[in-house]
Structure 1
Amino acid sequence: MNNDLYAVVGHPISHSKSPRIHSLFASQTGEALEYTAIQAPLDDFAGTVHGFFARGGKGLNITVPFKEQAWDLADRRTDRAAKAGASNTLYRDADGTLIADNTDGHGLVQDLDNHGVTLANARILVLGAGGAVRGVIAPLLARHPASLTIANRTLAKAEALVQLFTPDAQGTELNACGFEQPDRPFDLIINGTSASLQGDLPPVSANVIGADTVVYDMMYSLQTTTFNQWALDRGARHVFDGLGMLVEQAAESFRIWRGVRPETAPVIEELRND
C-alpha cells in the first residue's frame, strides 16, 4: 500500500525542519505517510500546488514567501486563516475543495502553555506587524490578556492590525506604537520581527524588561537568539525561542490531516539534540 503524500512548499526550502518533524510524528503515531520538501518557482506557486494535489497529494504546509499566495489560492478559508490573511496549511476535503488553514497562532499559544506562561490578564508587547504577527494576534486575544501592544517600525502597519483585530479584543486594551515608544515593563514580550536572523535588534527601550518579564522570540537558533540574549542581559526572567512553536504548529497541521494529535515534547527534545 502506498503511503499518503504530504510536503512543505517554500523558496528556499532545503533548510526546513518540517520533513524531520513530520517523520517523527508518523513514527510516533504509526501513521503511514511520506513527507517531503518542495521548492516552488517564485513565479509558479499555484502550478506547484495544483500539480501536487493532481498527483494524489493529501496536504501541504506552506512557508515563506508563499503564505499569502496560499491564502489567495484556496477555495475556502477557516476562520483563523481568514483573520491571519495567510495560510501555512492546505488540504482538500472530500469534495475536492481546497481549504486554507493557519496553525501558526495555535502553535505559539500552545508553546507558551508548554512553558507555563500565563496569558490571561497579562500585559503583552508584540514586536513587528508583518504576516508572522498577524497570524498570532487572534489566538493571543482569545486568552484575554489585560493589554496587547503592537510596536512596529512603520506605525501605520501596527495601527492597521489594531483596527483589524479590535472586534476580537473582548475587553483587552489593544494599542499600536513605534518601536521606541514603550517605556515600561511588560509581562510578556514576543519578538515577531526577523531581526534575530540577521543578528540585529528592533530599537526598543531596555525599560520594557522587568524582573518578571518573559521573552519569546519567534525565530529559533542552536544558540540563544540575539533578541533573547539582549533580554537576558537586561534581567528578563525567562526567554524562549520559536522551535516549540514550529513543532506545535506542525502538530496542529498533522491533526487536521490525520485526525491524530502527536506528542510534541519528545520531538522538540529530539530536535534540540540534533
Structure 2
Amino acid sequence: MKSAAGVPAPRRIGGATALAGVIGWPVAHSRSPLMHNFWLAQYGIDGAYVPLPVRPGAFETAVRGLQAAGFRGTNVTIPHKEAAFRIVDRLDRSARRSGSVNTLVFASDGMIEGFSTDGEGFVANVQAHGIAVKDGRALLLGAGGAARAIAASLLDRGVAVVLANRTPARAEELARALREDAAPAVEVVAWDDMATVLSRCDMLVNTTSLGMEGGPPGDFPLDLAAADPALVVCDIVYVPRQTPLLRDAAAHGLRCVDGLGMLIHQARLGFCKWFGTDPVIGPEVEALLDADLRGQGR
C-alpha cells in the first residue's frame, strides 16, 4: 500500500497486533523474522515477529517479561533450548522426548507450553528431498538440544542412532536419556573414532556449530571417501547454506541435505499456534531466504 504521495505507507502496529519472536544469543543471524513476517504478510495477519537477543543467565527473566507484555510466544535458539525446557509449565511429548524446547506458547490460562519442533522439522526436510526416513542407522554429530530432538525423531522411525560428541560425557548422558524412553538402538562412539562406524551408516547428520559462519574453528575427523556411496549427508547449519561438510560430501558424489529446509519446516507449529494459520510451505519462502543469504555474501 502507498500513501497519496507515492511513499510506501508505514506498517501499522497497534494494541491488537499479535507478537512473537526468537530468543537467542546471538540472534542477529537468525532468518526466522524474515520468514515469519513473510507469512504474516502473505496471509494478511495483524502480527509481528522480532529478534530478541537475550544473554545467558537472563533467559527466564526475559521470558516472564515477554509473557507479561502480551506476546503469544517465542522460538528459542542457541544457547537457551535446555533452559527453556526447565521453565515451562506444560511439556509436549516432543519436548519430553528431546529434553529441550525450541518453541514456547504463552497459553490463555497463564501457563507456558513447551514444544520441540526440530526433530520433525528435520525429518520433513529430508523427506522433502525425496529421501525416506525409516530404519537404517544414522551417525549423529553433537549432543545439544537439536541433537536430542533429531535423535528422538529418528528413533521413532526405526532408525538406529550412533552419537559422537567432542565432550564424551554429553554423548553418554544423551544416550542414557534416549534409552530410558524405550529406545535401545543407541550407540556412542568417540569423536576421533567416528570414521570406524561411518561405513555402516545410511545417514550422517551434523548438529554441531562446526562449519557455521562465526562458529568455532576445526574440521570433522572424517574421510568421506570411505563412506557408502548411498550415504545421505545432512547439516542443520544454514549460514552458510553450503557448509564445508556438504561441499566435501558433494565432491564425493554423496546426496546432501542442507539446513534451510529444516528451519522452514520446524517453524510451522509455532506460527500456527501464535497466529492461528498453518502456513503452506511453498518455494516462495525458500527463495526469499536463499536470496537473503546470497545477498549477505553467504
Q: Please, what TM-score do these two structures have when normalized by structure 1? A: 0.90
Q: 1:56 aligns with which of 70, 83, 108?
A: 70
1:92–1:99 CA contact under 8 A, matched in 2? yes
1:209–1:231 CA contact under 8 A, matched in 2? no
Q: 2:275 aligns with which of 231, 252, 258?
A: 258
Q: Does 1:196 find its partner at 2:189?
A: no
| 117-126 vs 179-188, which moves further | 179-188
- SS of aligned partner of 1:182: helix
Q: CA deviation at 1:168?
A: 4.7
Structure 1 residues 183 and 54, CA, compared in 2 at 3 Å: closer, same or farther? closer
Structure 2 counterpart of 1:78: 92
Distance across 1 between alignment mates of 2:103 and 2:185: 30
Q: 1:135 aligns with which of 149, 166, 169?
A: 149
State the Cα RMSD in Å: 2.1
Alignment of 1:231-250 (within 5 A): 231-236=249-254, 238-250=255-267
- SS of aligned partner of 1:196: coil
Distance across 2 between alignment mates of 1:76 and 1:169: 22
Q: CA deviation at 1:9?
A: 1.3
Structure 2 counterpart of 1:271: 289
Distance across 2 between alignment mates of 1:206 and 1:193: 18
Rg larger for: 2
Q: Percent identity?
A: 33
The number of residues matched between the two structures is 271
Distance across 2 between alignment mates of 1:183 and 1:26: 43
Distance across 1 between alignment mates of 2:47 and 2:167: 43
Kindly provide the amino acid, as one letter, of the partner of residue 57 in structure 2.
D
Structure 1 residues 165 and 268, CA, compared in 2 at 3 Å: closer, same or farther? same
Structure 2 regions of 5+ residues with no counterpart?
Answer: 1-13, 293-298
Q: CA deviation at 1:161?
A: 2.2
Q: CA deviation at 1:185?
A: 4.6
Structure 2 counterpart of 1:228: 246
Structure 2 counterpart of 1:213: 231
Residue deviations 1:227-274, cap 9 Å, x none? 1112222331x1121111111111221123334221223211221122
Structure 1 counterpart of 2:31: 17
- SS of aligned partner of 1:34: strand
Structure 1 residues 173 and 87, CA, compared in 2 at 3 Å: closer, same or farther? closer
- SS of aligned partner of 2:211: helix
Structure 1 residues 47 and 223, CA, compared in 2 at 3 Å: closer, same or farther? closer
Q: Does 1:126 find its partner at 2:145?
A: no
Distance across 1 between alignment mates of 2:86 and 2:143: 20
Q: CA deviation at 1:88?
A: 1.2
1:19–1:36 CA contact under 8 A, matched in 2? yes
Q: Please, what TM-score do these two structures have when normalized by structure 2? A: 0.83
Alignment of 1:125-164 (within 5 A): 125-145=139-159, 147-164=160-177
Distance across 2 between alignment mates of 1:81 and 1:47: 21
Q: Does 1:174 find its partner at 2:186?
A: yes
Q: CA deviation at 1:223?
A: 5.1
Structure 1 regions of 5+ residues with no counterpart?
Answer: none
Distance across 1 between alignment mates of 2:59 and 2:169: 30
